[in-house]
A and B are shown apart, each in its own frame.
Chain A
Amino acid sequence: MANAAVAPSRALKDQEKKLKRHLIKRDFSQNWPVYLMLVPVVAYFIIFHYLPMGGLAIAFEDFSFRSGFFGSQFVGFKHFENFFSSIYFGRLLSNTLILSAYGFLISFPLPIILALLLNEVRQPRFKKTVQTISYLPYFISVVVVVGILQDFTKSNGLLTQLVVALGGEGGNLLGKPEYFRALFIGSNVWAHIGYSSIIYISALSGIDQELYEAARIDGAGRWKQTLHVTLPGLAPTIIILFIMRLGEVMTLDYEKIILMYGPGTYSTADIIQTYVYRVGLVNGDYSYAAAVGLFNSIINFIVIFVANKISSKVSETSLW
């Protein structure tokens, strides 16, 4: 290694390989307990994450439990073709993308705004109290959140009365497709805004106070300070979280949708994953559902990959 400038010859490379193998062996014999400790996690992920990935092969066969994984007939891309040409494909894809996009546009900026507003509060105890209260919904289960939502959207529930007061029609809002997206995203914001703002609040408290001092000396008011000191200080956090959120575009909270939707609201509420659930686990059409699920996973993978590529170019912060 001392004369690294000279290109290593083959013999040297072989020797290096041997040395490395020797070192690994020695480390195994000296530190075997560490490697043993990693056996459970590796086994766990192989069984419950990688076996299912291998199980995706059923997307290319006509799987039945009777013939088994290896005995079922291979059918190639039949299920994918069926899905792409089915009447549901367009609706499912657009519902997934629209719900995702709306969710993104609304639930991403709101925690930042909450953090900025809290940052302007000069009374530490008031700030702390509001913050603590804002975490409350995070501890409440989805089942209960949807239960309360159902209560508020009955024909004379609180939200329905509000809608009527604003000139809406009223009735049972959860049963109406045109309200589904607003209710889904609104209740998500209620449940997560406090939790999501934590990271911005911490980032805000990390901004150098001398920068504010300097801005004040230059004659900047609160608004100018926010614009020229606070927001630039928050930008790296915003960018990283923005990219992480991009990666979640295809992973909507389908468990919550299953609690909220019904045949009457499928036209806006049914997304790819809820369709997978219905077709696969309710109707037992495993192969077709696995194919649809695989389509969703691939799109998701591509989105994350592209988002990460862009981020490493734009901001030199990448997730891996």
Chain B
Amino acid sequence: MGSRRTTGEKIFSIFNIIFLTLLSLVFILPVWHVLMASISDPDILQANSGLALRPWGQPTFGGYQFVLSNKNIIRAYGNTIVYVVGATAFSMFITILAAYGLSRKDLYFRKPLLFLLTFTMIFSGGLIPTYMVVKGVGMIDTMWALIIPGTVSVYNIIVMRTSFSTIPDGLLEAAKIDGAGHLRILLQVVLPVSKAVLAVIVMFYAIRNWNAWFNASIYLQKRRDLFPLQLSLREIILQTSNNSLVTESSDPGAIDRYRPLVKYSTIMISVLPMLVVYPFIQKYFVSGVMIGSIKG
């Protein structure tokens, strides 16, 4: 490669690298801005709303101290962890069982079952009837509303099924001859050789649940104490309301003083877990997209 590159190609190469470097900055800059704003002097920050390339004024961790000592935000953080773990565990349970069944070529009713699932990808009852069903089963204002409805993804089931069906038949046959039943084959043969796809799907479910806010906003009506972090964030950032901040022990003076910082500090603590794990899981990310693109 590159033995006979023309001048035009060299110029293109240089511009390409400059362009991609600038593009990378565009991806990083907004997050950097939030980070710098979160440790700025609240008074100076209040007056400047331009891009924060470095902290405005003397760096301070006052915003973080306020956020981390605010009971409402800590509770919302805890709720989010419950939702992420609960919804991911529940969805994985359904997804694994469904994928195992559907990956068996000798299964009767495989086609109609697949149709039952994929049809929901192209037609849905929509927002209102779904809301009424959730209300009908009594999940409104309970944590279940964010763990069960709308969490299982057909796409993820199909990805996992495609992956399971590439396991050599010989491996499954051998286990069967050894007298293993389906549950044992699933737990001791299929799952151990499918660690990569399991990691990918857990990751997709976990990211989605960590970042979800909409269902919480319609299913949690009277229970502010069950709010996930994203919903509190919405109030703090977008509705500029203090509802998510005020507790019986909070000092109104501190709220007013740190109000401009709280928004940025809360964003930072909400994206921090994602920022920490993403460089490590992004390679699974790539393989996940690839497994999904194989037509099953």
Interface residues of A (CB under 8 A from B): 24, 27, 31, 33-35, 37-38, 40-42, 44-45, 47-56, 58, 114, 117-118, 120-123, 126, 129-130, 132-144, 146-148, 150-152, 154-158, 161, 190, 194-195, 198-199, 202, 221-222, 237, 247, 255, 258-259, 273, 276-277, 280-281, 286, 289-290, 293-294, 296-297, 300-301, 304-305, 317, 320
CB contacts (< 8 Å) of B275 on chain A: these are: 136, 139
Contact partner of B12 (CB less than 8 A), chosen from A35, A120, A146, A202, is: A120
Inter-subunit contact B129/A55 (CB<8 Å): yes
Inter-subunit contact B132/A58 (CB<8 Å): yes
Inter-subunit contact B274/A41 (CB<8 Å): no
Interface residues of B (CB under 8 A from A): 1-2, 5-6, 8-9, 12-13, 16-17, 19-21, 23-24, 26-28, 30-31, 33-34, 48-51, 93-94, 97-98, 100-102, 104, 106-108, 113, 116-118, 120, 122-134, 137, 148-150, 152, 157, 181-183, 186, 207, 210-214, 218, 230, 233-234, 237-238, 263, 267, 270-271, 274-275, 278-279, 282, 285-286, 289-290, 293, 295
CB contacts (< 8 Å) of A141 on chain B: these are: 210-213, 230, 233, 270-271
Inter-subunit contact A135/B125 (CB<8 Å): no
Inter-subunit contact B20/A151 (CB<8 Å): no
Inter-subunit contact A133/B126 (CB<8 Å): no
Inter-subunit contact A140/B127 (CB<8 Å): no
What are 13 A-B interface contacts by the 8 Å CB criterion? A35-B101, A53-B124, A54-B129, A133-B27, A137-B27, A141-B210, A141-B212, A147-B263, A148-B34, A198-B290, A293-B129, A300-B122, A305-B122
Chain A residue nearest to B285 in the complex (CB): A135
Nearest CB of chain B from residue A211's CB, rounded to whole Å: 14
Nearest CB of chain A from residue B287's CB, rounded to whole Å: 9
Given contacts A222-B9, A304-B122, contact A147 B237 (CB under 8 A): yes
Chain A residue nearest to B28 in the complex (CB): A133
**How far, in angstroms, from A35 to B16 measured CA to CA in the complex?**
55
CB contacts (< 8 Å) of A133 on chain B: these are: 24, 27-28
Inter-subunit contact B130/A142 (CB<8 Å): no
Contact partner of A34 (CB less than 8 A), chosen from B1, B28, B100, B137, is: B100
Nearest CB of chain B from residue A127's CB, rounded to whole Å: 8
Inter-subunit contact A297/B132 (CB<8 Å): no
Inter-subunit contact B129/A130 (CB<8 Å): no
**How far, in angstroms, from A117 to B128 measured CA to CA in the complex?**
44
**How far, in angstroms, from A199 to B33 measured CA to CA in the complex?**
30
CB contacts (< 8 Å) of B17 on chain A: these are: 121, 123, 126
Contact partner of B16 (CB less than 8 A), chosen from A51, A117, A158, is: A117
Chain A residue nearest to B182 in the complex (CB): A33
Contact partner of A49 (CB less than 8 A), chosen from B9, B104, B125, B285, is: B125
13 new A-B contacts at CB < 8 Å, known A150-B237, A158-B51: A40-B98, A56-B126, A58-B132, A120-B12, A132-B282, A139-B278, A141-B210, A143-B230, A148-B267, A152-B51, A156-B50, A222-B9, A247-B122
CB contacts (< 8 Å) of B127 on chain A: these are: 273, 276-277, 280-281, 289, 293
Given contacts A53-B125, A53-B129, A147-B267, contact A255 B113 (CB under 8 A): no
Nearest CB of chain A from residue B114's CB, rounded to whole Å: 9
Inter-subunit contact B130/A48 (CB<8 Å): yes
Nearest CB of chain A from residue B202's CB, rounded to whole Å: 15
Nearest CB of chain B from residue A243's CB, rounded to whole Å: 12
**How far, in angstroms, from A63 to B211 measured CA to CA in the complex?**
33
Nearest CB of chain B from residue A193's CB, rounded to whole Å: 9
Inter-subunit contact B106/A27 (CB<8 Å): yes
Contact partner of A144 (CB less than 8 A), chosen from B16, B101, B181, B270, is: B270
**List of 10 A-B pairs having minimum Cβ-Cβ separation, nearest first:** A52-B125, A55-B129, A293-B126, A141-B211, A52-B129, A41-B98, A147-B237, A139-B274, A33-B182, A37-B97
Nearest CB of chain A from residue B204's CB, rounded to whole Å: 11
Inter-subunit contact A52/B133 (CB<8 Å): yes
Nearest CB of chain A from residue B51's CB, rounded to whole Å: 5
Chain B residue nearest to A144 in the complex (CB): B267
Given contacts A140-B31, A151-B33, A199-B293, contact A41 B49 (CB under 8 A): no
Inter-subunit contact B33/A148 (CB<8 Å): yes
Contact partner of A40 (CB less than 8 A), chosen from B93, B182, B218, is: B93
Nearest CB of chain B from residue A161's CB, rounded to whole Å: 7
**How far, in angstroms, from A38 to B120 measured CA to CA in the complex?**
17
Nearest CB of chain A from residue B254's CB, rounded to whole Å: 22
CB contacts (< 8 Å) of B149 on chain A: these are: 48
**How far, in angstroms, from A26 to B12 measured CA to CA in the complex?**
67
